[in-house]
């Protein structure tokens, strides 16, 4: 009878405990998240709910489970004492449990100074990280300015500072951790140190390179760059690697050590200001007046979509070769990502413009035998009294020479047999 009553009371206690847990959780969440607009406690309440809400809920959850386990032990002890066969066992279990709890309590009391120190270190570390995030967040949003410190440095610097704070806190707290003086703890520390030293050499090199690249400001995410032989848009820049998407939609991962050791060409840096210059080379013979060639090239560039009218395109004569002139057409664009399409349209326009003007796009080469009736000098430079030299032509009897050659080949093909001659 007493066992049934104890069991019923224990079940009612469990139901009441979980009901109380639900009510406390709702009220705690409501208190922590309750803020009234315009009230002075709005900021405090919001920050209190954000920083202490989850820890308080976790503490309440742990307290309820401890209470439940304690009541379960009390219920088991009471029920066992109701039966003569298990009465002695109940005393033994109770003594063992209380002795274990007493030993645990002594250890906790002895470790309390170290525990307080660890809690203090954790608290200091927590607020240092919060101050670090707030300070560099203000720099990132440009609400706070420091001369010579760029806003895009804020996030990586915040990460580096956070890592230094965490490493320093671990170093300071490690002597106060439970078992920190044991041989096992020291052996694990040495093993991890050797493992990191041997296995992270290249990773550390790439990490240092990534840090240097960040403060060099060679490129940002979204820039259109050339790294080595690869051209594309930077889609991700981490501490170890840089990822870029090419114009063929290929994602390339390049270690930061390789990026730092190579040449980086940033097309987007000047494209944001005046525009980036792209160029193409055309070779035209000396027979075409260079002023006309300049005009045709500029006309083709100005009719190309994506080419800026201001600054205007320009032409450079890069070489006076033996048989032709090298013309370099330079134009500005603010769309470096579309440079392939712009090049293609520009080349089409150059062909159309030169064809309409009757100027051939070629690189003529002359042999030693040349028709002197036509000179490569433009007509505007040729004197009026100039006379074309006569080109000498001689007639060759092709049929007679061919017949003689054929007869010689037939004679050479005859085989003389000695027996037939006799």
Q: What is the pLDDT of residues 58-88, one digit of tens each?
A: 777 788 788 877 777 777 777 777 777 777 7
* Residues 6+ away with beta carbon under 8 Å from 325: 283, 284, 285, 286, 290, 293, 317, 319
Q: What is the mean pLDDT of residues 289-305?
A: 94
Q: Residue holding tokens 């120190």?
A: 117
Which has more pLDDT, 398 or 64?
64
pLDDT at 37 exceeding the cut of 70: no
Quick: pLDDT tens for 132-189. 988 888 888 888 888 878 787 888 888 889 989 998 998 888 888 877 677 777 777 7
Cis amide bond preceding 291, omega within 30: no
Give residue 99's pLDDT.
81
- Cross-sheet strand order for the sheet of 241-246: 251-255, 241-246, 230-237, 224-227, 264-266
**Domains of the chain, residue spans:** 2-152, 206-266, 271-357
User: What 3-state DSSP class applies to 77?
Assistant: helix
Percent of the chain with pLDDT over 70: 79
Q: What are phi and psi of 193, to 5 degrees?
A: -65, -45
Q: pLDDT at position 47, please?
A: 53
If one compares 212 and 94, the residue with the highest pLDDT of the two is 212
Residue 90 has pLDDT above 70, yes or no: yes
Please report the pLDDT score of residue 41 as a whole number: 43
pLDDT in tens, 303-354: 999 899 988 999 999 999 988 999 999 999 988 888 889 999 999 999 999 9
User: What are the CA-CA distances from residue 375 to residues 97, 240, 320, 324, 371 (Å)?
Assistant: 116, 63, 17, 13, 9
What's the average model confidence in pLDDT over 249-261? 89
Please report the pLDDT score of residue 125 as a whole number. 92
> Is the model's pLDDT at 129 over the cut of 80?
yes
Residues 210, 239 contacting (CB under 8 angstroms): yes
CATH of domain 271-357: 3.30.70.100
pLDDT beyond 90 at 269? no
Looking at the whole model, is its pTM more than 0.85?
Answer: no
Residue 45 confidence (pLDDT): 46
Q: Rounded mean pLDDT of 279-290?
A: 91
Mean pLDDT score of the chain: 78
Topology, domain 206-266: SH3 type barrels. (2.30.30)
Strands 230-237 and 276-285: unpaired
pLDDT above 70 for 21: yes
Q: Is 249 left (phi over 0), alpha (psi -120 to 50) or beta?
A: left
């Amino acid at each position: 009878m007493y066992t049934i009553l104890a069991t019923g009371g224990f079940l009612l206690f469990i139901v009441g405990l979980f009901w109380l847990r639900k009510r406390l959780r709702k009220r705690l969440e409501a208190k922590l998240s309750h803020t009234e607009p315009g009230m002075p406690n709005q900021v405090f309440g919001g920050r209190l709910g954000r920083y202490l809400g989850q820890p308080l809920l976790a503490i309440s959850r742990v307290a309820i489970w401890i209470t439940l386990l304690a009541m379960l032990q009390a219920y088991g002890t009471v029920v066992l004492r109701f039966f003569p066969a298990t009465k002695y066992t109940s005393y033994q279990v109770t003594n063992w449990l209380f002795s274990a709890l007493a030993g645990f309590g002594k250890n906790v009391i002895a470790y309390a100074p170290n525990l307080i120190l660890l809690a203090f270190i954790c608290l200091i570390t927590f607020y240092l990280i919060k101050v670090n995030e707030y300070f560099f967040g203000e720099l990132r949003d440009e609400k706070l300015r420091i001369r010579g410190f760029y806003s895009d440095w804020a996030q990586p610097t915040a990460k580096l500072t956070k890592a230094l704070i965490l490493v320093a806190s671990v170093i300071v707290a490690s002597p106060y951790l439970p078992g920190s003086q044991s041989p096992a703890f020291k052996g694990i520390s040495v093993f991890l140190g050797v493992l990191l030293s041997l296995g992270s050499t290249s990773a550390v090199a790439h990490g240092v390179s990534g840090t240097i690249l960040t403060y060099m400001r060679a490129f940002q995410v979204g820039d259109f760059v050339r790294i080595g032989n690869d051209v594309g848009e930077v889609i991700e820049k981490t501490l170890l690697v840089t990822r870029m998407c090419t114009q063929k939609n290929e994602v390339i991962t390049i270690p930061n050590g390789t990026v730092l050791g190579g040449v980086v060409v940033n097309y987007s840096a000047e494209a944001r200001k005046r525009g980036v210059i792209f160029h193409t080379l055309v070779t035209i013979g000396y027979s075409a007046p260079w002023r006309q060639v300049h005009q045709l090239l500029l006309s083709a560039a100005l009719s190309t979509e994506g080419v800026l009218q201001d600054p205007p395109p320009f032409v450079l004569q890069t070489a006076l070769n033996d048989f032709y002139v090298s013309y370099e057409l330079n134009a500005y664009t603010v769309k470096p990502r579309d440079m392939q399409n712009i090049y293609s349209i520009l080349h089409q326009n150059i062909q159309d413009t030169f064809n309409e003007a009757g100027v051939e796009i070629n690189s003529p080469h002359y042999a030693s035998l040349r028709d002197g009736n036509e000179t490569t000098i433009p007509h505007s430079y040729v004197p009026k009294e100039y006379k074309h030299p006569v080109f000498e032509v001689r007639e060759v009897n092709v049929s007679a020479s061919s017949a003689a050659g054929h007869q010689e080949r037939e004679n050479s093909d005859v085989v003389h047999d000695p027996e037939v001659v006799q």
